[in-house]
Structure formats: C-alpha cells, structure tokens
Amino acid sequence: MKPGIKDLCYCGSQRPFGECCEPFLLGAALPVSAEELMRSRYSAYVTRNVPYILETTSPKYRKYYNPKAILEWASNSTWISLEILSSSEKRVQFVATYLDEKGQLTHHKEDSRFEKIGERWYFMDGK
C-alpha cells in the first residue's frame, strides 16, 4: 500500500507523502525531531516497512522486537489515522487508530520516549 508522490502522507501531516515520510522510509533523509520520527514510524507500519521500524528503534531496545511479529501486526491491521496529542523534544503522545485483524476499531494511545544519538533520532519505548 503506497500512495503516489503527490498523495497525502499517512502520518496525517497534510503534506504529500513524497515530501513527508517517504524520504525517511527510503533512507534519503533523517527525521530532525522526535515527532517527525514518530510520524515516519507510523507510515512505516502502514507500508509494512519493518527494516525502517527496526533501524529507528534504539539499539538498546532493538533486541526486544521481533521482525516477524511486527510484519504480522502491521499486515493484519487496517491503518486509519495518526493523531499527535502532544510533542516535546524527547516525548510524543499519540493515538493511532486502526482496524484490528477481527475488524474491530482500535485506538492505540501511547506516550513514547525518544533519544538522539549523533544525528539520528531513535524510538526508545512507550507506555
């Protein structure tokens, strides 16, 4: 599932995908903030870009993530929207809305923590 370059981005930014999250997912650019990384990770789940999800997870936490499980969850979900509730330098609170594998509307609310190592932002964990 991939929009055209001029279609709106999955992350809800109201910007074209080709000018928003796609450059990050292709490795052509790096997110410059925790919120930008959060938005790009949401788009990665929608497009089932498991390598990006793993690469943008903090090296300290990456071992806890199973690529097969990520792909299964992303593939069995119908992604509807991402709403950023609040964003600071190293935290993003959001709600991701999707239909689960049974077709049930689900609202995943999370308070995520991020860290910057060198020039790269990484997802650490969320509650």
Contact between 48 and 71 (Cβ < 8 Å): yes
The answer, as to whether pTM is greater than 0.85, is: yes
Supply 76's token pair. Answer: 């069995």
Provide CB contacts within 8 A for 85, sequence distance 6+.
93, 94, 95, 109
CA nearest 46: which of 70, 67, 16?
Answer: 70
Low-confidence ranges of the chain (pLDDT < 50): none
Specify the pLDDT at position 96: 97
Specify the pLDDT at position 14: 95
Enter the CATH code of domain 17-126: 3.10.450.50
89-116 pLDDT tens trace = 999 999 999 999 999 999 999 999 999 9
Specify the pLDDT at position 3: 58
Torsion of CA 68, 41, 110, 63, to 10 degrees: 40
